Amino acid sequence: MATASAPDLLAAERAVRDYMAAIGLDVDHPTLLDTPRRVAYAGLDLYSGLGGDPAKALGGGEPIEGVYPGPVSVKDVPYSSICEHHLLPFKGIISVAYLPDRMLAGIGDFDAMIRVLAARPQMQERLADEIAETVSSTLGAKGVLVHLTAEHACMWARGERTVGATAQSLASRGVYDGGADRAEARLLLGL
């Protein structure tokens, strides 16, 4: 996804106000007067990952001395993002298993990388793929398996209003693309 230019908060406020009026809201009602400003400023946080570098957030890792004995997993990292199709939120958990080659990343670094990638208009499937690619390319991992679950507001807040349904996505790289190694990584993630 292309990154955006610097935010123009006044233009965002005008656009939100125009949108509210177009869908029939009374933009001059006292309870709605500050809504365009609030939405514009919320966008600064919701889309803060547009200029971020997920590889930098992952930190590049620490060299492994000797041979590392096996896979590493980071499980159940909570996240939230904005669906690019409806601009509605989705949230869930992300688990990552990787087989290190030369580098290990800190546990907190995974959270930082996920925050960068999730804080942009996103599709759940692409988010899984971007995490797998970042871990693979940044750490030089022999294998990466990423599992995402999410509840999407576009399912529970509109249309049929299906509450409680979750979507799941998997993305993999390297030796975790299939076979016994993938089965080991799935076991590690509890899948």
In order of their start, the domains of the chain are 9-46 (no CATH), 48-189 (3.30.1130.10)
Q: How confident is the model at residue 4 (pLDDT cuts 50, 70, 90)?
A: low
Cα–Cα nearest to 167, from 63, 55, 81: 81
**How confident is the model over 23-63, as pLDDT tens digits?**
999 999 999 999 999 999 999 999 999 989 999 999 877 77
113-166: pLDDT as tens digits? 999 999 999 999 999 999 999 999 999 999 999 999 999 998 898 888 888 889
Who wins on pLDDT, 4 or 23? 23
